[in-house]
Structure 1
Amino acid sequence: MCLAVPMKVLEIDGHRARCNALDQERWADLMLMPEDGVTVGDYVVIHLGFVQRTVPETEALESIRLFKDILDELPDGQS
């Protein structure tokens, strides 16, 4: 099973996007997206290093909030 945390696009460099979520940054490949399909500020879902799709901001922020709630419930040292 895969869990996908939506990530915010911070920078686009050619066919790669630098993204951030929950204080983690990742570079992801944009090859599977239309050329103008992703812009800085968009939220995206990444799988196996590739941006799979964009996510509406309200949906992304709600998902991130739920993930934060889950992490907050874990005992110290398990996140």
Structure 2
Amino acid sequence: MCLAIPALVTGLLPDGMARISLDGVVKTISVALVEDVRPGDYVIVHVGHALARIDPDEAERTLALLAEAGALGAAVAAAEARP
């Protein structure tokens, strides 16, 4: 099963890359598929790529549901394991 999760963009990097934060984990991802991404935006992330921008309220609700289901920790652990 694959899971795409919301993450907060904390900074933009060269070459279509950005730094994100997810439950305290900081990762570098590609934002080449999403136009006009800015720090403070939430994006849906799957396998190191932002797929779409998401409304902040929807992102927070989704993250809360994932945490409640116990799935957030597993998703963060999987993200940490990827280079």
Scaled by the length of structure 1, what TM-score is found?
Answer: 0.78
1:69 aligns with 2:73: no
Percentage of pairs with the same residue: 27
The Cα shift of 1:48 comes to 2.2
Aligned length in residues: 70
Task: Give structure 2 stretches of 5+ with no counterpart.
Answer: 72-83
CA deviation profile, 1:41-65 (whole Å, cap 9, x unmatched): 0000112211110000010000011
| Structure showing the higher helix proportion among its residues | 2
When the two chains are superposed, the root-mean-square deviation of aligned CA atoms in Å is 1.5
Contact 2:33 2:51 in 1 (8 A): yes
The structural deviation recorded for 1:32 is: 1.3
- Residue 8 of structure 1 corresponds to 8
- TM-score normalised by length of structure 2: 0.75
SS in 1 for 2:27: strand
